[in-house]
Structure formats: structure tokens, C-alpha cells
Amino acid sequence: MTTEVPSRTRIPVHPDAAEFLGRDHQLFINGEWTTPRDGGMSVSLDPGSGEQIATFAVGGKQDAHRAVAAAVAAFEPDAPWRVMSAASRARLLFALADLMEEHQEELAHIEALDSGKPLAVARDFDVAYAIRHVRYFAGWTNKIEGATIPVDVPDMMCRTERTPVGVAALIVPWNYPILIACWKLAPALAAGCTTVLKPAEQTSLSVLRLAELISDAGFPPGVVNILPGSGSELGPVLVEHPEVEKISFTGSTRVGEEIARRAATGIKRVTLELGGKSANIIFADANLDHAIEGAAAAIFSNTGQMCSAGSRLYVERPILDTVLARLKEHTKTIVVGHQLDEDTQMGPLISKSQMTTVCNYLDRAASDGARTVVGGNPHTDHDGIFLEPTVLTDVNDDDAIVREEVFGPVLVVLPFDELDEVARRANDSEYGLAAGIWTRDIAKANRLSNLLRVGSVYINTYGQSDAAAPFGGFKKSGYGRDMGRQNLEYFLETRTVWTDLRL
């Protein structure tokens, strides 16, 4: 394993990204950059080096009310956004996608430095897929159609119209800042909503740069408002505000439960994409070259900081020892390093507090009798927040390391004997976000898929994504979906119009 973490000062930062990071950044409200009224300034730290990379404003409660007021004004019937044609909305979204593509390398550097994800991943996945999402939903703006209904009432015409929900509060996590922002922003804008987008305070920079591009693309003031700040302070204001009609949240199950409770009093439309403890299942007849590589990517991508991480690996008992040996060998080849190093495959954890959380889980697993196959150690001799990719075995289904979301590069490996057994054990979780199945027997794979209570099943692959494919979970992994036409529907209401033809 490569453990040397190079200093950022020895790795060139894209010049446009460096210029952006060198400026102070204010709140983006009503099309203008404005200082907070009751917020303040925050500092962004590079998790790969511990160095300060930028300062930016964070909003307070008064700023949240200002942002909502701007979105409300932009949603008035005679506002430019409301009278704009669907084709014109599409042109703005396509213009934004073009600007994002023009600045893709810059956005990737900002995202990598702020979040710790490897530069190649930030460029080729996060930013690239964010652009795809904006373009995909731009194409939907003039395809939002109602229907004429042949009702059983004489001389009566009945039709439906689709209309935007209204002001949408979009609350984005720190692990995929610009990508999940676009998951939520693009369908909201395609539907005709106005928005207040709150990025995570830990990773606000790429979304603030996105706000500049939104302004350059020509969106009317108030249509998109960007409000970095504390979730505990701003979240309740946005969720409970009487003029916010829709909330789209991605984050922890604990916070999602609180949002659902608060939103219920206002009868608000809510979609929640929450936590996971996803099972990845390898049968003895699987192509082990692909299965080992896929199982490692499912947990070590983004340093394990993803809700759909394949953190529980169930292996058919006859191949358990082989899989453990090959996983150990593969894991040792993963290059851990600073995220701007093009050779890096796994970067740092997002923060020292997240490192503490993961290490506490490892300590508890050890006390419960888990055996470390590989990894498990932090790189304490570096300024950055680095943990070795870790594989554990000799664990039980009831152990905390098996049941709870660790959100770090920690894989637990458990044996199984029968298909029905592994289906039951995989489903024995409060979560239901994703699952993987590795086998050459497609009939068996589809039988197991039908038994799994999860929102996404990956057969002989893991973590595939496309703007057109819905993503979300069952059980405590949330409700509603991001991506795909289904996501667009959550930003629309249906109006039924009756017309008496005799008058």
C-alpha cells in the first residue's frame, strides 16, 4: 500500500480553482452575493493536508428567511421565471450544463480539495455526472404533459395539468456535494420550482462555484438561492417555513426522521434519501476476478463515505477462504494518498470527527471478537485524515459493525450457505438502500433480487448510476427517489380541470 501523502503545495492546483479559492465567498440570495445578517464566516480545510483552502459565509436564521422570501418572490405568477416558456427553461439548463463542462477541470479541483475525493473521481464521476443530470432534466422541461380524461359525465371535458410544487428546499450532504446538488436542483428547475439549496457546511465550495455559473447562465434572481450553514440551525427554518412546499433531503437517517416529523405539521412534500448498510453477496459460481474488484470498489470508493456502500459482504462458504485471501491481496494494492495526486485511488476521510467515529467502530468490533484481515490503522504520521482500507471477518450478524452505518472504508465479511438464508440475513436490517449479487447463474440472481427489500440491486456490478435511473431506498433508507423521471414527479402537482361544454 502506498502510504506517503504528498503535500498539496507540491501538487499544482488548477489556476481557475486557485483564483476561486483565494476569494472570500458570500451567500447567494436573489441573484446577488450578500453578507450574512446573523451568520458569519467559516473556514474550509483540506482533509488531505489539514491546510486552510478557503473562507466562506454561513447563513443564520434571518438569512434563511431572506432566501425563502427571494424564492417566493421568484415564484409569483407574473415573475420572469413563471411566465418563461418550458423551452426557455430548457435553454437555461443547457447553458448551465455547457458552462459546467467548460469549467469541469476547475470544478473537479475545487471538489477534490474540499471533500477529499480523488481528483480523477471528482472529474470523471462527480462533475461529469452532475453535468449529465442537468442535461437530462433540461430535456424534460417541454415534455411535462397533462392528459384529457374521457369521464362518464355528459357534455363535460376533464383534463389534468402539471404544475410546479412551489418553493423547494434542497438539503445536500458532504459526501457528493456538487453531484447531489444537481440531482435535486436540475429536476426542481425543470419542473418550474424555485429553490433554496443548502450545501453541507463541510463542503460548500463547489456549490458556491456552481452558483456563479448559474448566474452566468442567466437564471432570473431568486430562482436559485445558495445558503451554506449549519444544518441544525438552518434546517428547521427551511423545513418548517410556511412558504416552503417541498423538501428534498439526502443525509443520515437520524436527521431524516427529524425532518419528516417537522415537515408533517405543515403537510409538506418530502423526499428522503438516507442511510444504508448494504449487502454484497458472492456465490461460489461467480467470476471472482470481477467479484473481488467489485466488492472492493463497493466499499472503498469515496473512502467508504457513501450511503450505498457495500459494507456487508456475504460469501458462499466453500469460497470464503479464497475470497478473504484475494481481498487482502487486492486491498493492499489500493493507493492511499492526497486527493490531487493523480495516482491516488482512495483519499482521506472528511474530518477528524469522522475518523474518530470510524475508529470507535473498529475498537468495538475488536472487543466483539472481529479479526482484521487487512488494514485498520490510521496514518497518524500525516497531517491529513487517512485510514487504511480495512477488511474484517469473524463477526456476527448482531454486531454493531455489521448492523450500523460506519461511513468509512470498513468491510465486514460473513459466510453463508443457502440462497434463502442469505436473503433473510441481507434483509435483516433497518436499512434497504442497495444490494449486490455476484453469480454466473442469472436465474438465481433474479430469484434473489426479487427477495431483497432494497431500492437498487446490482447484478455482477455495483453502484452503477445514470440520470435516467431512479435511486432511493426502502425502510429507514428513506422514501421517494432521486434521479430519473420519478424524481421530476416529486416537484410537480396535478391539477384537474373540469369544463362544462354546454355553457
CATH of the domain at 212: 3.40.605.10
Of the candidates 294, 190, 299, 201, the residue with the CA atom closest to the CA atom of residue 251: 201
The string of pLDDT tens digits covering residues 132-169 is: 999 999 999 999 999 999 999 999 999 999 999 999 99
The span from the CA of 340 to the CA of 42, in Å, is 23
6 belongs to a structural domain: no
Rounded to 5 degrees, φ, ψ at 357 are -60, -50
Amino acid at 284: A
Binned at pLDDT 50, 70 and 90, residue 2 comes out as very low
| Sheet strands (E) in 207-321 | 224-226, 246-250, 269-273, 279-282, 312-316
The span from the CA of 178 to the CA of 208, in Å, is 9
Could you count the other beta carbons within 10 Å of the beta carbon of residue 143?
Answer: 11
Same domain, 183 and 265: yes
Query: Is 273 part of the annotated catalytic residue set?
Result: yes
The confidence score (pLDDT) of residue 43 equals 96
The confidence score (pLDDT) of residue 12 equals 86
Same domain, 300 and 443: yes
218 belongs to a structural domain: yes
Binned at pLDDT 50, 70 and 90, residue 196 comes out as very high
The span from the CA of 463 to the CA of 294, in Å, is 9
DSSP string, 96-118: HHHHHHHTHHHHHHHHHHHH---
The span from the CA of 368 to the CA of 176, in Å, is 32
Same domain, 269 and 387: no
Residue 390 DSSP SS3 = strand
436 belongs to a structural domain: yes
336 belongs to a structural domain: yes
Same domain, 373 and 226: no
Same domain, 300 and 419: yes
111, 245, 273, 388: the catalytic one is 273
The confidence score (pLDDT) of residue 383 equals 76
Instruction: Summarize the confidence of residues 295-299 as an average pLDDT.
Output: 98
Same domain, 74 and 205: yes
Residue 110 has pLDDT above 90, yes or no: yes
Please report where in the chains the cell 425563502 appears, as a residue: 68
Same domain, 139 and 169: yes
Q: What is the mean pLDDT of the chain?
A: 96
The span from the CA of 338 to the CA of 129, in Å, is 23
The string of pLDDT tens digits covering residues 265-288 is: 999 999 999 999 999 999 999 999
Read off the pTM: 0.95
Same domain, 309 and 210: no
Residues 296, 299, 304, CA angle at the centre, nearest 5°? 140
Tally of domains within the chain: 2
Contact indicator for 432, 441 with CB cutoff of 8 Å: no
The confidence score (pLDDT) of residue 304 equals 98
Same domain, 368 and 483: no
Same domain, 336 and 252: no
The confidence score (pLDDT) of residue 1 equals 37
The string of pLDDT tens digits covering residues 379-390 is: 765 679 999 999
Binned at pLDDT 50, 70 and 90, residue 6 comes out as very low
Higher pLDDT, residue 96 or 8: 96
Binned at pLDDT 50, 70 and 90, residue 10 comes out as low
Instruction: Summarize the confidence of residues 377-403 as an average pLDDT.
Output: 91
Same domain, 216 and 248: yes
The confidence score (pLDDT) of residue 9 equals 44
Same domain, 81 and 227: yes
The confidence score (pLDDT) of residue 4 equals 39
Domain that holds residue 16: 12-274+479-495
The confidence score (pLDDT) of residue 47 equals 96
